[in-house]
Amino acid sequence: MRDGVPEELKPKVVIIRTAGTNCDYETRFALEKVGASVDLIHINQLVKEKGLLDLYQMAVLPGGFTYGDDIAAGKVLANQLRYHLLEDLLRFVAEEKLIVGICNGFQVLVKMGLLPGMSGLHASRGELEQTFTLTYNDSNKFEDRWVYVKAFSNKSVFIEKDTILYIPVAHAEGKFIERDEETLDLLFQSGQIVFKYVDKEGNESGYPWNPNGSVGNIAGVCDPTGRILGIMPHPERYIEPTQHPRWTREGLKDEGDGMVIFRRAVDYMREKMWKEKRVVGKR
């Protein structure tokens, strides 16, 4: 209880890790900073101990190169989740808990069909249909650079519309593309496009502002409920003021832009805990 709050009163978050996960340290740091209690758990353990996931209110699939991004980025972990943890995950979603996939985690969620999940995911495995993909950047290179992303929707619990975040991308396969025009139109209408890449002035623009060539400059999407978020850039890499690439010019801010996403997640979970307690109390 580093911040004075007893662990048991903190919202509990699980960072799901496996071979090749690698942004767990800074993701955990960000979550703990906004008051969450965080466990890092290997996928093997979640698969072995069914129900373990139920102990948490939020699950994070962090950045990295799970299974080396061999075959395609996120593909192998996506299958592992679909074939071995789906029931637990669907129950998690049904209980209105939160899921965030960052970078590689976003790739996983898209490839298992959980995002954008327009056809609904309440039923069986068969309905988890992959309608979009994240593929090679137009530059055909891994690129680490800072980008501006703007929230275009109020649908996601993680962000408020019109917020602009300055955070870095670091990926080779981040180009978000659609299966067909119909799905893309649906996505545009649904309000599930949470983040778009924009330029310094907040306008949609080309490379390098859109670092990978994503259709519609899409940087992040949510599911129809707004409780599952996938985002290509790394909010957990701009928590501390010294992480900004130009802090020596522009001065140290109070906190990094990425904080808002984690703080809103924790706020949501606290409120939910409080509501659930009240319901229990009334009984």
Partner 1 sequence: MESRIEVFTNKKFADVLGNEAKNEIENIGITSVEEIRIVQIYLIDSNLSEEEIRCICKELLTDKLTQEYVFFHGISERESSGQKKDEENVSYSIDVIRKRGVMDPVESTVMKGVKDLGLHVNSVKTARRFLVTGVLTLEQIETIANKILSNRIIEDVFINKDTKFPGNGKGVIDSVFRKNTIEILAVDDTQLRSVSESRQLSLSLPEMKAVQRHFEGLGRNPTDVELETIAQTWSEHCMHKTLKGLIEFDGEDIDDLLANTIMKVTKELKKPWCVSVFKDNAGIIEFDEEYNICFKVETHNHPSAIEPYGGANTGLGGVIRDTLGTGLGAKPILNTDVFCFGPLDVPQKDVPDGVLHPRRSFKGVVSGVRDYGNRMGIPTANGAIYFDERYLYNPLVYCGNVGLIPKDKCEKKSHKGDLILLVGGRTGRDGIHGATFSSIGLTQESEVVSGGSVQIGNPIMEKKIADALLVARDRGLYNNITDCGAGGLSSAIGEMGEELGVIVDLEKVPLKYEGLNYSEIWISEAQERMILSVPPENVKEFESIFEQEDVEAVFIGKFTGDKMLRLRYKGEIVADLEMGFLHKGCPRIKRRAISRSPCYNEEPKISKKTDYGKDLKKILSSWNVCSKEWVIRQYDHEVQGGSVLKPLQGVDNDGPGDACVVRPLLSSKKGIIVSNGMNPKYGDIDAYHMAASAIDEALRQIISVGGTLKRVALLDNFSWGNIDKPEYLGDLVRAAKGCYDTALYYETPFISGKDSLHNEFKLGDRTISIPHSLLISALCVMPDVTKAVSMDLKEPGNLLYILGETKAELGGSHYYQIHGFTGNTVPKVDTTIGKRVMDSLGSAMGKGLVRSCHDCSEGGLAVASAEMSFAGGYGVELNLSSVPVDEGVSADDVILFSESNSRFIVEVRPQNRQEFERIVRSIPHGCIGRVLENDLFTVFSRSRECLISEKIYDLKKAWQSTLSL
- CA 137, CA 171: separation in Å to the nearest integer? 8
Is the dihedral angle over the CA atoms 54, 153, 137, 234 positive or is it negative?
A: negative
Catalytic residues: 103, 234, 236
Q: Please state the closest distance from residue 38 (CB atom) to partner 1, in A.
A: 13
For 95-234, where are the alpha helices, taking DSSP H only?
104-111, 181-190
Is the dihedral angle over the CA atoms 256, 260, 266, 271 positive or is it negative?
A: positive
Query: Residue 65, interface with partner 1 (CB under 8 A)?
Result: yes
Query: Residue 6, interface with partner 1 (CB under 8 A)?
Result: no
Query: Residue 179, interface with partner 1 (CB under 8 A)?
Result: yes
Query: Residue 20, interface with partner 1 (CB under 8 A)?
Result: yes
Q: Please state the closest distance from residue 276 (CB atom) to partner 1, in A.
A: 32
Query: Residue 259, interface with partner 1 (CB under 8 A)?
Result: no
Tokens of residue 238, six digits: 């701009």
- CA 200, CA 206: separation in Å to the nearest integer? 12
Kindly tell me which of 175 and 196 has the beta carbon lying closer to partner 1. Answer: 175
Query: Residue 52, interface with partner 1 (CB under 8 A)?
Result: no
- CA 183, CA 190: separation in Å to the nearest integer? 10
Q: Which of 1, 9, 45, 275 binds partner 1 (CB under 8 A)?
A: 45
Q: Which of 64, 105, 117, 230 binds partner 1 (CB under 8 A)?
A: 64
Contacts with partner 1, 214-253, as mask; x by CB under 8 A = --------------------x-xx-xx-xx-xx-xx--x-
Q: Give the residue among 238, 272, 269, 242 at the shortest CA–CA distance from 256.
A: 238
Residues 72-111 that bind partner 1 (CB under 8 A): 72, 75-76, 79-80, 83-84, 111
Is the dihedral angle over the CA atoms 45, 135, 126, 220 positive or is it negative?
A: positive
- CA 89, CA 97: separation in Å to the nearest integer? 10
Q: How many CB atoms lie within 10 A of CB 188?
A: 14
Tokens of residue 40, six digits: 């890092």
- CA 185, CA 145: separation in Å to the nearest integer? 29
- Per DSSP, the three-state class of 127 is helix
Cβ atoms of 101 and 56 within 8 Å: the answer is no
Q: Please state the closest distance from residue 123 (CB atom) to partner 1, in A.
A: 19
- Specify the stretch interacting with partner 1 by CB under 8 A; choose among 8-16, 51-59, 173-181, 216-224: 173-181
Contacts with partner 1, 185-214, as mask; x by CB under 8 A = ------------------------------
Residues that bind partner 1 (CB under 8 A): 19-23, 25-26, 29, 42, 44-45, 63-65, 67-72, 75-76, 79-80, 83-84, 111, 130, 132-133, 135-138, 140-146, 168, 170, 177-179, 234, 236-237, 239-240, 242-243, 245-246, 248-249, 252
